[in-house]
Amino acid sequence: MSVPEMPSPHREDSALRRTASASHDGAREPRAAVKLFLLGFVMLFLELCLIRYLSGTIWNLGYFPNLVLLAVFIGMGSGFVFHEKISRLGSGTAYQLSAVALAGLVVMVHFGRPSVPGFERGGAELGGDLYFSRTPTVVGESLILFLAWFLAVSVIYALIAHRAAKLFRLFRPLTAYTLDISGSCAGILAFMLMSWAQIPADRWFALLIPAFLFTLAELSAMRALLTIAPMAVAVGLIQYQETRLQYDPKLSEGLEVVWSPYQKIEFIPARGTQPSTIFVNGISHQSMMDLPTIRSTYYQAIHDDRTSRGLPPFEKVFIIGAGSGNDIASALAHGAKRVHAVEIDPVIADLGRRHHPAKPYLDPRVELTIDDARAALGRSTESFDLVIFALTDSLVKASPMAQLRLENYIYTVEAIRSAYSHLSDQGDLLFYNFYRREWLVDKLADMIREGTGKEPRMIWRKGDFVVLTVGRGSEARKASAGTVEVARDDWPFFYLRERGIPGVYQLAMAAMAAMISTLLFFVWRGTRSHAQVSIHYKLAFVLMGTAFLLLETKSVIQFSLLFGTTWINTSLVFLSVLLLVLAANWTAVVARARIPVPLVFGLLIVASLATLFYPLASLLSVENPTSRFVLAALLTFLPVYFANLLFSLSFQDKAEAEHLFGWNLIGATLGGVAEYSSMAIGYGALAVLVAVTYSAVFALLWLGGRSTRADVTSESVPS
């Protein structure tokens, strides 16, 4: 087999001609390198802004942030592939229209009040996947409005990306790619800083104004005004939104709005008989109850059951999902001497500390940890009389790339087994929530049976709200009906009834595949007579985007299991992936043709499949955190590095590099929907899907290399 992607004189000459042309054009585009870096910053930073802002403003979109990501990839890919449809002279105006489109998106979301279709006021079950919600009755459910914001995001990114493509082609491919990715790294770091400081959303968008101005093709007073004006409208309207309670603007008195690193949080203080209430992403989420109210609810039943069994009060308590403090207040009121409370969102815990009527967080018996609960419990060497799996209904995903909610790794057989191992001799596990479906209660009971070897008991029920308990002294497990599949670390889908891809996701996968196939067909038809890059290479870059997004998603999930689903862990994994892109670019530039592509491909396949033989979940037993991190980093990031190196070696001498980069981004869209397959096969098996896809990439690169050599031979034969 011939080696794909070895440099040929034809491609080298093409690259040199392209560079000479780039130098000439570069003279007409001052500070092109800085502008391309800034456009990389704008595209990544704005992506994160839109994911967070739209998830916090469009009801129930927090469950589907990947829709924003897909819209971004479709827009970016289209902007790079079709940038030549807009002339250089018209490019400046088209780029300015992205600011107008962004303002239009904010206006539409504010006045249209869209929601994800298919949800009832209290939630939804879409294709067997269960979702919690609590929205006002006046929620727009128009499918047209929902599609409109998706299209708006794609248009915004197509207009921005076309501008980046014009600059991209002024440089050698890897130089342009390095500038773009460096800007993306800066974008992630800036948004991480904003998240850590809990900066309001209007400031995020305000930061984009100077970046937009500096990346204009020509800066004049009129162009500056036409850019600043729509951006100012967007910033002003977002600022106005934060003075009104999204759930019901009439209840805005005393409103406090904070953007936590995870979500938009609104707080309304108590008035009359109404308790202080926290809203998350526009949805009523939790209320702060006083002690008399707490004693009249299921909290009392928990301690009454303990007394009825002749056992002493719970002295040491561990709370998973402590929220604003109701569970802590109940434990303290019933004699707990020490409470270890874990809450993942620092803003919710801070609101409880400042506003809860019982002041539980101020009690010296309470130790608060802001972290992923499973990670915190795994680090503990203590035993507890009570471990509570409290009301952990997150309304967001751990990552916009994955179908993993913040609490998914808390509700697995392995997590329950770990919690059970931390019980004292007379300790109990406690589970309570609005489980909403009988099959979910049955599923949880089966998970408890398998994780503890004991039989759970239901000690309180009111409608959908159920309290289950199991302890050291419980009876041995009974046989279960086994009608639903239990959630495990490799398949952590607690709210999914059974393995399989829900119909709504199958439709999305089919739509994305059809869209990409249609685009490829029409581009091939329109350029087959004069294209500088064969269809094989375009398909190869599409599949590279698909495989790489799957690989990146798998990396995030693996680190979430080992180190927690916190925002900082997820952000650092994304940043590490981009840094590996830069490392691979550097390697390709330094080594050039000295690295055989088949060798890189072989190392990539081996590294990708390594976790099938040594699953990362096995690292949970490695007690030394440094050793665990080093092993996890090797297993996670080696395939990412080799995948980036394969891309860089294949990309470095390509003509029409900006087009191939666009196809790669469109391929990432397909990878975003291919990730839905994890709901059927689990996350470990994604390694096989990644390996198969990269194998197809290698075959296409080989076919593309043959096609290129055939073209060179035909050109060299005299007519």
Handedness of CA 457, 462, 463, 466 (dihedral sign): negative
Instruction: Tell me the pLDDT tens digit for each residue of 624-644.
Output: 888 888 999 999 999 999 999
Q: Under a CB-based contact definition with an 8 Å cutoff, are residues 593 and 7 in contact?
A: yes
Question: Contact at 8 Å (CB) between 472 and 427?
Answer: yes
Name residues whose C-beta falls within 8 Å of residue 526's C-beta, 6 or more positions apart in sequence: none
Give 219's pLDDT tier (boundaries 50, 70, 90): confident
Look at 190 and 510; give whichever has higher pLDDT. 190
Spatial distance between the Cα atoms of 366 and 363, rounded to a whole number of angstroms = 6
Q: CA 351 to CA 345: how far, in whole Å?
A: 10
Does the pLDDT of residue 311 top 50, yes or no?
Answer: yes
Q: Among 182, 176, 152, 178, which Cα is nearest to 164's?
A: 176
- From the list 333, 343, 242, the residue with the least C-alpha distance to 351 is 343
What pTM did the predictor assign?
Answer: 0.92
Q: Which of 482, 493, 674 lies closest to 126, judged by CA?
A: 493
| Structure-token pair, residue 397 | 């995903």
* Residue 89, pLDDT score: 79
Quickly tell me which residue has 């607690």 as its tokens: 494
* Helices 66-81 and 32-57, packing angle to 10 deg: 150
Type of residue found at 92: G
* Residue type at position 95: Y
Phi-psi region of 467 (alpha: psi -120 to 50; beta: other; left: phi over 0): beta
pLDDT band at 622 (very low <50, low <70, confident <90, very high): confident
**pLDDT greater than 90 at residue 535:** no
Residues 630/619, Cβ–Cβ less than 8 Å? no
- When mean pLDDT is compared across 431-435, 498-502, 592-596, the lowest value belongs to 592-596
Question: What pLDDT, on a 0 to 100 scale, did the predictor assign at position 527?
Answer: 60
Indicate if the pLDDT at residue 677 is higher than 90.
yes
Structure tokens at 81: 């592939």
Cα–Cα distance measured from residue 631 to residue 177, given in angstroms and rounded to the nearest whole number: 30
Give the span between the Cα atoms of 81 and 656, in whole angstroms: 9
- pLDDT band for 508, please (50, 70, 90 cuts): confident
Identify which has the larger pLDDT, 16 or 614: 614
Is it the case that residue 398 has pLDDT exceeding 50? yes
Q: CA 687 to CA 675: how far, in whole Å?
A: 11
* CA angle at 255 for the pair 288 and 57, rounded to the nearest 5°: 95
Asked if residue 710 has pLDDT above 70, the reply is no
Distance CA 375, CA 3 (A): 46
Residues with Cβ within 8 Å of 221's Cβ and at least 6 positions away in sequence, in order, are: none
pLDDT beyond 70 at 355: yes
* pLDDT over 90, % of the chain: 70
Residue 124: per-residue pLDDT: 84
The pLDDT of residue 643 = 97
Report whether pLDDT(10) > 50: no
List C-alpha distances in Å: 414 to 299, 409, 452, 453, 488: 26, 9, 10, 12, 6
Asked whether residue 717 carries a pLDDT value surpassing 80, the answer given is: no
Q: In angstroms, rounded to a whole number, what is the distance separating the alpha carbons of residues 117 and 126?
A: 10
Rounded Cα–Cα distance for residues 490 and 680 (Å):
11
- Mind listing the domains of the chain with CATH numbers? 1-11+497-711 (no CATH), 30-127+137-169+199-245 (no CATH), 288-393+413-471 (3.40.50.150)
Q: Cα 58–46–405 angle (5° rounding)?
A: 50
User: How far apart, in whole angstroms, are the C-alpha atoms of residue 291 and residue 358?
Assistant: 7
Give the torsion sign (CA, 629, 630, 632, 633): positive
In this predicted structure, the answer to whether residue 255 has a pLDDT above a threshold of 70 is: yes
508 or 579, which is more confident: 579
pLDDT higher than 50, residue 525: yes
Q: Crossing angle, helix 657-674 and helix 503-527, to 10 degrees?
A: 160
Q: pLDDT digit string (tens) for 172-201?
A: 999 999 999 999 999 999 999 999 999 999
Instruction: State the distance between the two ends of the chain, measured CA to CA, in whole angstroms.
Output: 30
* Residue 654 per-residue DSSP state: -
508 vs 604, residue with greater confidence: 604
Q: State the pLDDT at residue 140.
A: 55
Whole-number percent of the chain with pLDDT over 70: 92
d(CA 589, CA 582): 11
Calculate mean pLDDT across residues 500-517: 84
Nearest Cα to 280, choosing from 594, 557, 62, 427? 62
CA-wise closest residue to 181 among 637, 707, 710, 580: 580
SS3 334: coil
The pLDDT tens digits of the residues spanning 439-466 come to 999 999 999 999 999 999 999 999 999 9
- The mean-pLDDT minimum among 132-136, 409-413, 585-589 falls in 132-136
**Helix ranges, 170-220 (H):** 173-197, 201-214
pLDDT band at 9 (very low <50, low <70, confident <90, very high): very low
pLDDT exceeds 90 at position 39? yes
| CA 315 – CA 564 distance, rounded (Å) | 27
Mean pLDDT of the chain: 89
**Lowest mean per-residue pLDDT among 2-16, 127-141, 560-574, 596-610:** 2-16
Task: Region of 449 please: left (phi>0), alpha (psi -120 to 50) or beta.
Answer: alpha
Query: What's the pLDDT at 1?
Result: 36
pLDDT tens figures, 144-180: 888 899 999 999 999 999 999 999 999 999 999 999 9
Given this model, what pLDDT does residue 604 score? 97
**pLDDT exceeds cutoff 70 at 218:** yes
In this predicted structure, the answer to whether residue 686 has a pLDDT above a threshold of 70 is yes
Does residue 331 contact residue 339 with C-beta atoms inside 8 Å?
Answer: yes
Distance CA 566, CA 560 (A): 8
- The region of weakest confidence among 228-242, 525-539, 654-668, 694-708 is 525-539
Q: Do residues 213 and 227 touch, judged by C-beta distance below 8 A?
A: yes
| Helix, strand or coil, per DSSP, at residue 114 | strand
Residue found under tokens 């809860």: 356
As a whole number of angstroms, the distance between CA 645 and CA 451 comes to: 42
Residue 584 · residue 648 · CB < 8 Å? yes
Least confident of 263-272, 298-307, 502-511: 502-511
> DSSP 3-state assignment of 144?
helix
pLDDT at 19 > cutoff 70: no
Cα-based distances in Å from 348 to 403, 448, 646: 23, 28, 44
Q: Please write the tens of the pLDDT for every residue from 54-81.
A: 999 998 999 999 999 999 999 999 999 9
In which residue are the tokens 């603007």 written?
Answer: 249
In which band, very low, low, confident or very high, does the pLDDT at 528 lie, cut at 50, 70 and 90? Answer: low
